[in-house]
Amino acid sequence: MRAKLAAFHQTGKSLKVKLAIFDLDNTLIAGDSDCLWGEFLSEHGHVDSAAYRAEHDQYYQDYLDGQLDINAFLHFQLKPLAENDVDKLEQWRKEYLAEKIKPIILPKAIELVEEHRQQDHELLIITATNRFLTEPIAKEFSIDNLIACEPEIINGQYTGRTVGTPSYAHGKVKRFHEWLNNKKSPDESWFYSDSHNDIPLLREVDHAIAVDPDESLKEEAEKTGWPIISLR
């Protein structure tokens, strides 16, 4: 195990732990769950369609370019949660999962997750998208461990703010180490991702795998010798 992770290793006798980590958007699913949430809200008239799409498209381009202001984006992304009651949001989310997410869950991704599960590997999804959207998607893969951006909830209502460090780029490394803090550090680890934004965390694990990678990640994978696979 690499030195950075070994620093989290706890002493004492225990079984070896092997950990398989998965990015979500464009890795396990054939699309971006947040973009699709925006499409859903727009198509059903839950937001001002033209204004929402224009602002979201700009943030998504910033993400692709590696220039995303994650805090500004989360303020935008979580605004509909703050403006609607939880019961309404949960109904919208059920419809969104049925319409937008279930059709793009990749069969090969399910097979990959199951391959690790059959080897008794601990499974973890880590994503920059917020927990409100991604928790039920993680459940579709029967993965209990999820690191996501955390929307703040006060008195049962979303505030539109976040809690803790956003799990984006270097923030994924910080959140991952925080998650490991009360666990036995894995003896072997895998991380599957499509995005150059995940290069910091890919460098932390024993087995970094580029999945249908963007051009920047593809170049890095070819340079470093990381395997490149497709789940499409």
DSSP at 197: G
Rounded to whole angstroms, the Cα distance separating 180 from 77 reads 28
**Residue 62 annotated in active site:** no
Return the structure tokens found at 35: 């973009």
Closest to 151 measured CA to CA, from 100, 56, 60, 86: 86
In the block, tokens 């049925």 appear at 98
Among 25, 32, 34, 198, the one annotated catalytic: 25
β-pairing, 145-154 vs 157-163, is antiparallel
Rounded to whole angstroms, the Cα distance separating 41 from 26 reads 20
**Residue 23 annotated in active site:** yes
Which positions ≥6 away from 159 have C-beta within 8 Å?
82, 151, 152, 153
Rounded to whole angstroms, the Cα distance separating 127 from 144 reads 14
What's the longest Cα–Cα distance across the chain?
Answer: 58
Q: How far is CA 192 from CA 21, 107, 124, 182, in A?
A: 6, 16, 11, 23
Q: Catalytic amino acids?
A: 23, 25
